[in-house]
Amino acid sequence: MKTQRIMNALVVLSFVVLSSFRHSYVQDVEIDIILPHSGNFNEWIITFTDGTNTYTFETDDDTFDSGILGTIPLGIYTVNFNSPYFSYENFDILVYDGGEIVSRGTTYSTDLTLYNVVIGDEPNIQIDAGY
């Protein structure tokens, strides 16, 4: 009986150690972004917050209309989109993972915040203007 308890404790301890090891070595994933197809409205500050870490990326009209926004670890984030164009243009913002929409928002104000956004192995953000 005592041996069984020790074995159970060792199994639980092994899972805890393996989980900690795996979590500390999680690879960052690249976030693809598609900005408005018109080539206009490309100034964005996009902030990902996971409770302890914040990752901020910026784009502008000289940057690109699509490409790699940056890299962050897999996880669940609060994502804030901020742009100077909101006062006269509306935007539909979609966050995909593996081709599936995981979060979506339409904004009519100075910024948009999406909550509990899952960033998995194949994240992609698409921003469409004129809604």
pLDDT at 89: 72
Distances (CA, A) of 72 to 8, 14, 49, 66, 105: 36, 28, 10, 18, 21
pLDDT tens by residue, 66-121? 788 999 999 999 999 998 876 667 889 999 999 999 999 988 777 899 999 999 99
No. of H helices and E strands in the chain?
A: 1, 9
C-alpha torsion sign, points 21, 24, 25, 30: positive
27-129 classified as CATH 1.10.357: no
Does residue 11 surpass a pLDDT of 50?
A: no
Residues pairing with 96 in the sheet: 101, 124
Give the residue with greater pLDDT, 12 vs 107: 107
pLDDT at 12: 47
pTM: predicted TM-score of the whole model, two decimal places: 0.75
Domain residue spans in the chain? 27-129
How far apart CA 1 and CA 89 sit, in angstroms, is 70
